[in-house]
């Protein structure tokens, strides 16, 4: 399947050395669809090795000690944190507005990159699994010649992508990919070198994104399961609407 090949290929191409490349095959073998009940329990259990604050501390440090399972529990553990809100606005919208023309540039100055990194760090401090700002962080490190830091954070981004890729195939609702933020649907596809063409919601809790496919034998689109995402949202905003996961 194209999207799987692209993700696994990216792990090889972008990580390079044995230190970074070795986890890719083992990680794919040990991961699969997340056990949400187990993750929910472990993420708030101070005695668990997957206690969210422990994983958060490891993720935010400049090293590559986390295992594939650590990344899975960290990514989906996001859903069960008190401050989780899948539709919350990113911080510092004033700086974001300044960055819009900078993002559109084909060439960026060091000052431009400084603003990009400053904003990326602010967003990641608020939401550490923001795939877009992780990508921007890596870009700035690479452009500024900080290749060791770029490799470390590429490793983290690759493993978050692998967690999503391992959650399903995306070809039908029963095998939908599982994400913790709606924007990750687009970011995941874009980082897999696929371009979204249209999107629709399919009850009770699926997003379907049609893609521009060059190969007629490849899927025309991919399904994303946002059941737990919606459930957690409506738990915190009960007046918004009926939770479709309970219908």
**pLDDT for the residue 4:** 55
Q: Give the helix/strand (H/E) hosting 174.
A: none
Q: Considering the chain, what is the average pLDDT of its residues?
A: 89
d(CA 168, CA 164): 8
Distance of CA 211 to the CA centre of its chain: 19
Tokens of 118: 């400053």
Tell me how far CA of residue 4 lies from CA of 9, 59, 148, 191, 219, in angstroms.
Answer: 8, 24, 27, 12, 12
Residue 15 has pLDDT above 60, yes or no: no
Phi, psi of 231 (to 5 degrees): -60, -45
- Taking residue 91's Cβ as centre, other Cβ atoms within 10 Å add up to 14
pLDDT digit string, tens, across residues 81-124: 999 999 989 999 999 999 999 999 999 999 999 999 999 999 99
Indicate the helix (H) or strand (E) that contains 197.
strand 196-202
Task: Indicate the pairing of strand 177-178 with strand 221-225.
Answer: parallel
Radius of gyration (C-alpha) of the chain in whole angstroms: 18
Beta carbons within 8 Å of 46's beta carbon, 6+ residues apart = none
pLDDT in tens, 115-142: 999 999 999 999 999 999 999 999 999 9
Q: What is the mean pLDDT of residues 4-27?
A: 43
pLDDT at 6 > cutoff 70: no
Strands 206-211 and 221-225: antiparallel
Cα atoms in the Cβ-side hemisphere of radius 13 Å centred on 126: 13
What pLDDT, on a 0 to 100 scale, did the predictor assign at position 120? 98
Angle in degrees, CA 178, 138, 15, rounded to 5: 75
Among the listed residues 155, 121, 147, 116, the one whose alpha carbon sits nearest the alpha carbon of residue 12: 155
Tokens 């972008």: give the residue: 14
Q: What is the token pair recorded at 185?
A: 């649907």
């Amino acid at each position: 399947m194209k999207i799987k090949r692209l993700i696994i290929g990216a792990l090889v191409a972008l990580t390079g050395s044995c230190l970074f490349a070795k986890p890719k095959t083992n990680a794919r073998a040990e991961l699969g669809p997340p056990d949400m009940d187990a993750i929910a329990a472990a993420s708030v259990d101070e005695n668990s090795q997957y206690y969210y604050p422990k994983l958060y501390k490891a993720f935010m440090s400049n090293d590559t000690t986390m295992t594939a399972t650590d990344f899975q529990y960290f990514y989906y553990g996001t859903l069960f944190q008190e401050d989780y809100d899948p539709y919350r606005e990113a911080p510092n919208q004033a700086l974001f507005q300044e960055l819009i023309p900078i993002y559109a540039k084909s060439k960026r100055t060091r000052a431009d990159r400084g603003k990009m990194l400053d904003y990326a760090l602010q967003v990641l401090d608020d939401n550490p699994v923001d795939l877009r700002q992780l990508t921007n962080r890596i870009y700035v490190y690479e452009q500024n010649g900080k290749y060791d830091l770029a490799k470390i954070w590429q490793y983290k981004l690759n493993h978050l992508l692998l967690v999503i890729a391992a959650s399903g195939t995306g070809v039908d609702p029963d095998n939908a990919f599982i994400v913790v933020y709606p924007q990750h649907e687009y970011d995941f596809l874009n980082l897999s070198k696929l371009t979204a063409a249209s999107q629709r919601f399919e009850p009770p809790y699926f997003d379907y994104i049609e893609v521009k496919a060059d190969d007629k034998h490849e899927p025309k689109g991919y399904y994303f399961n946002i059941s737990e995402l919606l459930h957690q949202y409506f738990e915190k905003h009960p007046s918004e609407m009926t939770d479709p996961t309970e219908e």
